[in-house]
Amino acid sequence: MKLSLKPLTDHYYFLIIASTFLQESSFVSTKIVMEEMSPLWVASARFLIAAVSLSPFVLIQMQKQKYLLKISLG
């Protein structure tokens, strides 16, 4: 049985293109935002956005750990 790697490589090409687009748009948006806001406010806003966007993943992991802890304690 021979496995094809074609679908896997297409997925990686999409991720590379998406990453490149996000990095390029970050430079452009930073230049525009820095004209309007001070660096401290920009850093605070980026931290807040990152915390809010990552909080669902953290909460899911905490729920999994709590479930695993209940199972292991019996």
Helix spans in 1-38 (H): 6-36
Give the confidence band of 71 by pLDDT, cuts at 50, 70, 90. Answer: low
Q: What is the pLDDT of residue 52?
A: 95
Residues 6+ apart with CB under 8 A from 34: 42
3-state SS assignment for residue 37: coil
Residue 1, pLDDT > 60, answer no
Residue 58 within any structural domain of the chain: yes
Number of domains in the chain: 1
**pLDDT tens readout for residues 4-54:** 556 666 778 888 888 888 888 878 888 888 888 898 998 898 899 999 999
Residue 1 within any structural domain of the chain: no
Residue 27 within any structural domain of the chain: yes
Residue 52 within any structural domain of the chain: yes
Structural domain that includes position 15: 6-73
Residue 67 within any structural domain of the chain: yes
Residue 24 within any structural domain of the chain: yes
Question: What is the distance between the terminal CA atoms of the chain, rounded to a whole angstrom?
Answer: 43
Residue 23 within any structural domain of the chain: yes
Sign of torsion, CA 53 47 43 24? negative
